Amino acid sequence: MPAHFYLLLTLGLYAVGAVQVALEILTRKRLLSRGAVAAAVAGFALHTAGISQRWSEAGHFPAVGVHDAVSLLAWLIVLAYLMAFVRRGPDALGFVAYPAAFVLVLVACLVPPAADTDPLLNSFFFPVHVTLAFLGYAALFVAFAMGLLYLVQEQELKSRSPRAFYYRIPSLESCDTISGHSVMVGFGFLTLAIITGLLWSHYARGRYWSWDLKELTALLAWSIYVGLLVTRWRTGWGGRRAALMGIVGFAAVALLFVWTTVLSDVTGAAR
């Protein structure tokens, strides 16, 4: 089966979870929670098969261009969600993981994969660097989304006449905790990704650092997260400030994602 076919099936299965989230917000009932998890597991298996198929079709680690990038990101987000589900049972993460996975795979289905076979892609550092970066993106996306939910929930509670969101969004504390853990994990991966990126740059271009837009954005994002972690470390609770910083930090990360996938193809940037 071609990789694209796997991806379409995956889209259908992730849609179950996305529909559940929509229903939950609208009706305040948990209608499909088990079915959605089962569909996510099946979707994840097919997604894995699709990515490995794409890998063998492309002949290099599939992380070139928008198609690969969003597909891989969705795969990691679902992986993170399923791991959290196994550890802690159903919780708030599904709220952001299902819609995010659905939208990302939808984009992957619409955009054809890039046909690029640069010999540089076969270097050892490329798959390692890209995987680490994407793990970081996935974790930081979760932090961003939970921060957003934190702000919405805080607004609901402050209003003193909470509406539907109040009931569906988890408690402030769990938004804060999940967001905080995700930042720690994401920051770790981001740091490692920057280090391996420097090494790859050295291998490909003969120099570690070249002051290009991508590197500067990475540095900016990294500094924002350092600030965020310090805030958390000092108070033990991130609160509103951490939520806002998580959102700003992710904006930098999203920009980084755009630089690397949409505007410049990876190898071009590497030269």
Partner 1 sequence: MPPAEPPRRRATDEPQGELHIVGVSHRTAALPVREALAFPREARDGALHQLCDLSGAGEAMILSTCNRVEIYARCQGPDAGQALESFLCVFHGRAPESLAQAIYRLRGADAVHHAFRVASSLDSMVIGETQILGQVKEAYEAAEAAGTLGSMLGALRNRSIAAARKARTETGIGAGAVSVAYVAVELARKIFGQLTGKNVVMVGAGKMSELAARHLVSGGAAATVVAGRTMERATELAASLGGRVLPLEQLRDALSVADIVISGTGAPGLVIRTADVEAARVRRQRPLFLIDIAVPRDIEDTVTRLPGVFLYDLDNLRSVAEANLRERRKQAAAAETLVEKEARDFIDWEKSRDVVPLLVELRKRGDEIRKAELAKVRSRLGPLSAEQEQALEAATSAIVNKLLHPPTVQLKEASRSGHASEQISFIRKLFGL
Contacting positions for partner 1 (CB under 8 A): 27-29, 153-154, 157-158, 160-162, 166-167, 170-174, 177, 231, 235-242
Q: Give kind and range of the element (H or E) at residue 270.
A: helix 266-270
Locate 28 and state its tokens. Answer: 């305040």
- Closer of 123 and 231 to partner 1 (Cβ): 231
Residue 221: alpha-carbon gap to chain centroid:
15
Complete DSSP assignment for 31-99: -SHHHHHHHHHHHHHHHHHHHHHHHHHHSS-S-SHHHHHHHHHHHHHHHHHHHHHHHH-S-THHHHHHH
Q: Which long-range contacts (CB under 8 A, 24 or more apart) does 201-209 make?
A: 201/270, 203/123, 203/125, 204/120, 204/123, 204/270, 204/271, 205/270, 205/271
Please report how close the Cβ of residue 166 comes to partner 1 at its closest, in angstroms: 7
Residue whose structure tokens are 């030269």: 271
Please report how close the Cβ of residue 254 comes to partner 1 at its closest, in angstroms: 26
Locate 34 and state its tokens. Answer: 């088990």
- Closer of 170 and 197 to partner 1 (Cβ): 170
- Closer of 5 and 167 to partner 1 (Cβ): 167
- Closer of 118 and 154 to partner 1 (Cβ): 154
- Cβ-based neighbour number of residue 84 at 10 Å: 20
Please report how close the Cβ of residue 25 comes to partner 1 at its closest, in angstroms: 14
- Closer of 172 and 256 to partner 1 (Cβ): 172
- Closer of 181 and 205 to partner 1 (Cβ): 181
Please report how close the Cβ of residue 28 comes to partner 1 at its closest, in angstroms: 6
Please report how close the Cβ of residue 29 comes to partner 1 at its closest, in angstroms: 6
Residues 228 and 249 sit within 8 Å (Cβ to Cβ)? yes
Please report how close the Cβ of residue 241 comes to partner 1 at its closest, in angstroms: 7
Residue whose structure tokens are 């939208």: 103
